[in-house]
Structure 1
């Protein structure tokens, strides 16, 4: 029996986080992480706000977060961001009085450093230098040199038949049209 083809996906549309107070959460994400608030359709029945930054859209939805205060655990689910300087991240988190934990992962002599902290509703955030770690595709014999910042040409060469550049460009154009 033939396996059905995967869903015809192009890219991640957005991430969402349930928060107690969308205005307060938006202030955290804009002031601490540098996101920018964008227009949200007024037809939604639930309160919230939309933010954009770093190639993703983040939707904050008013509700009862399922998360409770708990210790920072790098093994919990989290949203991760690439940083240019983890030392600067640590300094700025300290400036904001935000507690954090650090972790390192080493693979064949390559070290990835990570900083983990919670937002105001205990959603965990990771900041890392994960593009130090090469990506090795398991389905094809191809290795990309940068995990988070691999050039589109490398992606196209590794996945023949899939135009990664077109997918990326279409989603960016789609996103930009919504911002106008």
Structure 2
């Protein structure tokens, strides 16, 4: 453990000006690719990008900063999903997004689980939580 710590310290000190790692993609296991694709395209307005597998079981979306969201259809999805495990998207116009949710009747809640409420973190960032068609939690915040 001590050697790992020293290696990390060396890496940080010698590469402090430029990150040596970036997010490429986040993969999400879905039970119905069409239903999930509609959710991410229509509710979150994500743009679909080139899908390398071309097998009808995958979809890829641009999530900014060179990163992608990778949806993978498979039948053995976990049954219970904790809000602690979530994807987070920051939006420029969170109030506009919340208005869209309200007008469409799409449910959202704050961190404790109170429906239709917004959490304000100690740093002032506002956040809400929604679930995708498979029950995965998404945090939407205004830390854009």
So what's the TM-score if we normalise by structure 2? 0.72
Q: CA RMSD in A?
A: 2.7
Q: 1:112 and 2:125 equivalent?
A: yes
Q: Please identify, of 28-37 and 94-103, the stretch whose mean Cα deviation from structure 2 is larger.
A: 94-103
Query: C-alpha distance in 1, partners of 2:30/2:3?
Result: 43
CA shift for structure 1 position 49: 1.3
Query: C-alpha distance in 1, partners of 2:79/2:62?
Result: 23
Alignment equivalent of 2:51, drawn from 32, 40, 43: 40
| 1:4-53 C-alpha deviation (Å, 9 max, x unpaired) | 63599520110011111112211110111111112222376x82211113
Query: C-alpha distance in 2, partners of 1:33/1:112?
Result: 19
Query: C-alpha distance in 1, partners of 2:68/2:132?
Result: 17
Counterpart of 1:5 in structure 2 is: 7
For the residue of structure 2 that corresponds to 1:81, the secondary structure is strand
| 1:127-161 C-alpha deviation (Å, 9 max, x unpaired) | 11235xxxxxxxxxxxxxxxxxxxxxxxxxxxxxx
Relative distance call for 1:90 and 1:43 in structure 2 (3 A) is closer
Counterpart of 2:119 in structure 1 is: 103
**Large movers: runs of 4+ above 4 Å:** 6-9
Query: C-alpha distance in 2, partners of 1:94/1:85?
Result: 14
Unpaired stretches in structure 1, ≥5 consecutive residues? 132-180
Q: How many aligned residue pairs are there?
A: 123
Unpaired stretches in structure 2, ≥5 consecutive residues? 12-18, 110-117
Query: C-alpha distance in 1, partners of 2:30/2:41?
Result: 15
Counterpart of 2:33 in structure 1 is: 22
Counterpart of 2:140 in structure 1 is: 127
